Chains A and B, each alone.
Chain A
């Protein structure tokens, strides 16, 4: 076992993990934060997206041991965040979720897209989502929600 000391959702913690464990294992199984979903476990769906030092990553293909000294933010930390609140509201209003399994990864990615592209075009949004699978919605609501959330946040 390896001790990993990281900042998880603003709180410093030390977690013992096996060398083969991934960041999604750490978050879900060692820390019981189940808002990070695992859809493929091989880096191909984006359901497990978290922010690592402020960058979106697929936590299922990041080894937990490499997160020592780093800062991890999962969906649980965003519940009271105002920006996320706006994005959530637009997801709700634009029917951007059906089963909800992809949604948390989509939200984590949406926040990053909006941060990078304050005025994202539809193409920019679609391309930035190219690694996020949603099996239910056909993406239209998700793309619309990100565009309208960006617009509102731009005005804010």
Chain B
């Protein structure tokens, strides 16, 4: 590879290309599409948590306005979840098929000239359900005699699996054994734009066109093709502007399949825009982990092993493609966190309950695992009378030990975890916090400081996904770069940028590869008809995978540009440099547009035998299939009131290392946004169910979204340890911010009430939970 294109754009905080349309109000989300004769859909959803459908009465609706599963064309089952014999399948029907398994499950769809009229039709539909006992608690769900969701299963377990590392028996006689239980409750991704679908048949192209607010159009097309039984070349899936996803738009959901099937059955476009109530009760739910863990340690705080169990409350069905087991296995495998913990024995249960199915949400499993391990470390510190910072230092993997294989089997590639911790301690000014704490607050609030370390696996390729038994193995990404006759270029990619700024950062990468400016490059994404196959944006993978593919494609294109330039300049390609929009040789330069013109429309100017055109496609998979690990330390100071239980964040520091940065401004934005979501998990957001299986949080009046007054200003300290295996030394980082806040804030609350020993072991730490924990510790009723 030629190295003559010095980085001019990579590493710069370039302002985003995508901002202009959004700021003008000229962006286009699914709900903004306007098509002639389009009709709106309203779903009839189950009011029952668990039951058998006896009948569905259309309520006197006009023929053709109410659609049940029986009215749609045959839909093939989409088996989801790991390809493991021990994983029990639970195919999620697009509309209920005889049974309903959670309140909110789609049962029928109704058409109207607008949404209100469609809802009128829906409200008249009567679904007669024979109620069955609801299964609400993931631990009790496995008890003998518990009601069962799936008639052909022996119990409610999707899968039971023991995740081990090292040899836990070898440390069975550890001098310290400490057992704790933790719970991270259920929530939803809640992007500000809800899900939405517009679907119609395009007779000109003989395609079913499905606009959907998704993170991965190509994979969704594949799933739709299986479900509908129509070939992929007759399916086009487009994600226009997507108003946030965070994992919640990375599963093929029943509404998407039902809408596509409906579009095949009617002769006009159909539209469904999820409302917030639907999002809260029937979109992808996340988290809900129960941990019961025992840590084995030396008296000096050296942690030897962890044993215990994890129950993941996975909801009623497996979402395509991955199902819920990845959540469970990732939680277990990430338990050792950033530490030298070699022995692990975790009994994991992925459990079906009468709730909305579980899927990915920023951080996937790791916020729970981080909460568990980082709380355990603090608890152990208190138990042994060791300072929480000191006990971390005794256990953190050191830079000279890297690459380090954890007890969970993850290969931590590089970095300096102890220095990150020191930096966080310095930035938060621990002595000053301790002094304020000792002085006490006039209003009786308590000050506490908490730390949490985390790692974030990203850029993991084929081997890792195969290890997870994933049905779809997102082991690579593809990019095409096409240079037009005027020398401007399109970068065509299969990821979907929905806030990550990839239209800008990928243009920076391509600009450096081609000697252009980002303004001469446009990045197009999110549409199966414009790019080669790829997997989409999730798992903090886009900058590693797609950035790598863009780098490769740019290199291939640059090679051809140099060959043409060498011919025109009478020199050899290895002496040509692409820079500032021109090809420079030893004896002169030629503007790239001139080369582009020759290659595209004046083929007679090309060297003998060279194929015309300027286009290159490349795939990229990072050579280290286990991924590269961003990492960091969060430090937070809270003030909590013992009676009201209200917790305020006074200071929040993030020390973070995600390798080299393509666009530092965008990276900071991702960190801050992630931490804000993590604060939501820590303090506010929860979807509880009552004993009848009814979801309690059904509006943003009950589900608390953090707003500007609740979120502090953050201070970020960067460390840069370039990845050795990826292009440009980058590591993925989009999820990391959301991983550590619940752990750091719980540790800070524990610190605030250390004198009375109040325990904070469950998220979100609402005022009620905080004041209850204080009251319990004080021995009050």
**Contact indicator A131/B707 (Cβ below 8 Å):** yes
**Contact indicator B25/A35 (Cβ below 8 Å):** yes
| Known contacts A42-B701, A95-B668, A135-B705: A76-B34 contact under CB 8 Å | no
Residues of chain A within 8 A (CB-CB) of B242 are: 99
A73 at the interface (CB under 8 A from B): no
A57 at the interface (CB under 8 A from B): no
What string of 1s and 0s marks CB contacts (under 8 Å) between A72-86 and chain B?
001110110000000
Q: Which of B193, B677, B700 contacts A99 (CB 8 A)?
A: B193
Distance between Cα atoms of A122 and B709 in the complex (Å): 10
Q: Which of A25, A29, A133, A140 contacts B700 (CB 8 A)?
A: A133
| Known contacts A92-B16, A100-B243: A42-B700 contact under CB 8 Å | yes
**Contact indicator A92/B19 (Cβ below 8 Å):** yes
A125 at the interface (CB under 8 A from B): yes
- Interface-facing stretch out of B381-389, B397-405, B498-506: B498-506
Work out how many contacts link A and B, with CB atoms closer than 8 A: 165
A59 at the interface (CB under 8 A from B): no
**Contact indicator A133/B705 (Cβ below 8 Å):** yes
Residues of chain A within 8 A (CB-CB) of B499 are: 98-100, 136
Distance between Cα atoms of A139 and B25 in the complex (Å): 19
Distance between Cα atoms of A101 and B194 in the complex (Å): 10
**Contact indicator A79/B24 (Cβ below 8 Å):** yes
Total count of chain A residues near the partner, CB < 8 A = 57
Residues of chain A within 8 A (CB-CB) of B140 are: none
Residues of chain A within 8 A (CB-CB) of B19 are: 91-92, 97, 100
> For residue A84, which residue of chain B has the nearest CB?
B23
A118 at the interface (CB under 8 A from B): no
Residues of chain B within 8 A (CB-CB) of A132 are: 707-708
**Contact indicator B27/A100 (Cβ below 8 Å):** yes
**Contact indicator A103/B29 (Cβ below 8 Å):** no
| Known contacts A41-B275, A132-B708: A101-B699 contact under CB 8 Å | no
Q: Which of A38, A91, A107 contacts B31 (CB 8 A)?
A: A38
A137 at the interface (CB under 8 A from B): yes
For residue B508, give the distance in angstroms from its CB to the closest CB of chain A.
Answer: 15
> For residue B275, which residue of chain A has the nearest CB?
A41
Distance between Cα atoms of A143 and B711 in the complex (Å): 11
> For residue B663, which residue of chain A has the nearest CB?
A95
A93 at the interface (CB under 8 A from B): yes
**Contact indicator B276/A39 (Cβ below 8 Å):** yes
**Contact indicator A102/B192 (Cβ below 8 Å):** yes
**Contact indicator A91/B116 (Cβ below 8 Å):** no
Q: Which of A100, A103, A137 contacts B669 (CB 8 A)?
A: A137
| Known contacts A38-B31, A129-B707: A138-B673 contact under CB 8 Å | yes
For residue B219, give the distance in angstroms from its CB to the closest CB of chain A.
Answer: 20
> For residue B29, which residue of chain A has the nearest CB?
A101
Q: Which of B18, B276, B498, B672 contacts A40 (CB 8 A)?
A: B276
Residues of chain A within 8 A (CB-CB) of B244 are: 98-99, 101, 135-136
**Contact indicator A34/B32 (Cβ below 8 Å):** yes
Distance between Cα atoms of A42 and B34 in the complex (Å): 23
B122 at the interface (CB under 8 A from A): no
> For residue A101, which residue of chain B has the nearest CB?
B243
Q: Which of B27, B243, B276, B668 contacts A41 (CB 8 A)?
A: B276
Within 691-738 of B, Cβ neighbours of A (below 8 Å) are at: 699-701, 705, 707-709, 711, 713-714
Best-buried of A107, A132, A137 by chain B (most CB within 10 Å):
A137
**Contact indicator B192/A101 (Cβ below 8 Å):** yes
A149 at the interface (CB under 8 A from B): no
For residue B522, give the distance in angstroms from its CB to the closest CB of chain A.
Answer: 17
A18 at the interface (CB under 8 A from B): yes
Q: Which of B24, B26, B699, B709 contacts A126 (CB 8 A)?
A: B709
Best-buried of B25, B701, B713 by chain A (most CB within 10 Å):
B25
**Contact indicator A140/B672 (Cβ below 8 Å):** yes
> For residue A34, which residue of chain B has the nearest CB?
B32
Residues of chain A within 8 A (CB-CB) of B700 are: 40, 42, 44-45, 133
> For residue A40, which residue of chain B has the nearest CB?
B276
What string of 1s and 0s marks CB contacts (under 8 Å) between A5-40 and chain B?
000000000000010110001001100101111111
Distance between Cα atoms of A46 and B481 in the complex (Å): 39
| Known contacts A92-B15, A100-B18: A35-B26 contact under CB 8 Å | yes
Distance between Cα atoms of A25 and B31 in the complex (Å): 12
Q: Which of B23, B668, B713 contacts A103 (CB 8 A)?
A: B23
Looking at chain A's contact residues, the main secondary structure is loop
Best-buried of A34, A36, A91 by chain B (most CB within 10 Å):
A34
For residue B19, give the distance in angstroms from its CB to the closest CB of chain A.
Answer: 5
Residues of chain B within 8 A (CB-CB) of A133 are: 192, 700, 705, 707
| Known contacts A21-B116, A41-B276, A138-B672: A99-B709 contact under CB 8 Å | no
A104 at the interface (CB under 8 A from B): yes
A134 at the interface (CB under 8 A from B): yes
> For residue B677, which residue of chain A has the nearest CB?
A135
Distance between Cα atoms of A75 and B15 in the complex (Å): 22
What string of 1s and 0s marks CB contacts (under 8 Å) between A42-86 and chain B?
101101000000000000000000000000001110110000000
Distance between Cα atoms of A122 and B193 in the complex (Å): 27
B512 at the interface (CB under 8 A from A): no
**Contact indicator B498/A139 (Cβ below 8 Å):** no
Residues of chain B within 8 A (CB-CB) of A93 are: 15
Residues of chain A within 8 A (CB-CB) of B709 are: 126-127, 129-130
| Known contacts A20-B116, A97-B19, A101-B191: A142-B708 contact under CB 8 Å | yes
Residues of chain B within 8 A (CB-CB) of A38 are: 31
> For residue B244, which residue of chain A has the nearest CB?
A99
Within 18-69 of B, Cβ neighbours of A (below 8 Å) are at: 18-29, 31-32, 34
Distance between Cα atoms of A110 and B208 in the complex (Å): 42
Distance between Cα atoms of A88 and B21 in the complex (Å): 11
**Contact indicator B668/A134 (Cβ below 8 Å):** no
Residues of chain A within 8 A (CB-CB) of B246 are: 135
| Known contacts A126-B709, A129-B708, A130-B708: A137-B192 contact under CB 8 Å | no
Residues of chain A within 8 A (CB-CB) of B500 are: 98
For residue A96, give the distance in angstroms from its CB to the closest CB of chain B.
Answer: 9
**Contact indicator A100/B241 (Cβ below 8 Å):** yes
**Contact indicator B713/A88 (Cβ below 8 Å):** no
**Contact indicator B699/A139 (Cβ below 8 Å):** no
For residue B778, give the distance in angstroms from its CB to the closest CB of chain A.
Answer: 33
B666 at the interface (CB under 8 A from A): yes
For residue A35, give the distance in angstroms from its CB to the closest CB of chain B.
Answer: 3
Residues of chain A within 8 A (CB-CB) of B711 are: 138-140
Distance between Cα atoms of A135 and B708 in the complex (Å): 11
Give the top 4 A-B pairs by smallest Cβ distance, nearest first: A35-B25, A100-B22, A101-B243, A138-B676
Given contacts A44-B701, A98-B673, 10 further A-B contacts (CB under 8 A): A37-B243, A44-B699, A45-B700, A75-B25, A99-B22, A100-B18, A130-B709, A133-B700, A138-B676, A139-B708
Interface residues of B (CB under 8 A from A): 15-16, 18-29, 31-32, 34, 114, 116, 190-194, 241-244, 246, 275-276, 498-501, 665-666, 668-669, 672-677, 699-701, 705, 707-709, 711, 713-714
A-B residue pairs in contact (CB < 8 Å), sample of 9: A21-B116, A97-B23, A100-B18, A102-B192, A129-B708, A136-B244, A138-B676, A140-B672, A140-B713
